[in-house]
Structure 1
């Protein structure tokens, strides 16, 4: 599961409560959401949750989806998915809409990260 804590190690709070493997947390720039990858029926899916452990939402549902990363403006999430048969980088809104591939077809791609301006 995923936990948060204050910088000095106090105030440990559990954020995810599903009985599944959760990994790769990514904070939104505003600090109001955490994106993560969670195991559902044997495949990883991307979720978001508020830091107070409310409003958990599953955003993806096909293939294995991992490594979520918020855009610097907090409007988008990039992630790695194998929904087309091999790992590629995708982008979607923070609500899970408009999921589309952004890496070239025919090449494996993973580990998406945003560059700051």
Structure 2
């Protein structure tokens, strides 16, 4: 985490806390999911790593709540996702991603769908 409240142009970011979210994978990109304007009570960091995985990490507990395989085969081979941006114009259902060689569009699961899945699996008590 960074404290960027009092930062001026040209200043360096100062880390105020380091959190380890994986033992071996290196995070390459991060996006808040769902975005701040969403009405969801849950906040996550959507993290793309060098092992072609997407993770949803709980913002408060820093625990991984969901893991999915990112684009890894075909034209994306040997180029993990390095940048991503959730598109608010489409109800946060889509994300644009970029690798070293390509860019693409990916459909995201809705937060409501994930919440129902977590209740069914017993991860959440209720919603």
TM-score after normalising by structure 1: 0.51
State whether structure 2 residue 50 is matched by structure 1 residue 39. yes
Alpha carbon RMSD of aligned pairs, Å? 3.4
Structure 2 residue aligned with 1:91, among 107, 110, 119?
A: 107
Counterpart for residue 6 of structure 1: 3
The structure richer in helix per residue is 2
Calculate the TM-score normalised by the size of structure 2: 0.48
The reply to whether residue 27 of structure 1 matches residue 32 of structure 2 is: yes
Count of residue pairs the alignment pairs up: 87
Structure 1 runs (4+) greater than 6 angstroms displaced: none
Is 1:50 paired with 2:58? yes
Describe the SS at the equivalent of 1:23.
Answer: strand
Structure whose CA Rg is larger: 2
Gaps of 5+ in 2: 6-13, 37-41, 114-127
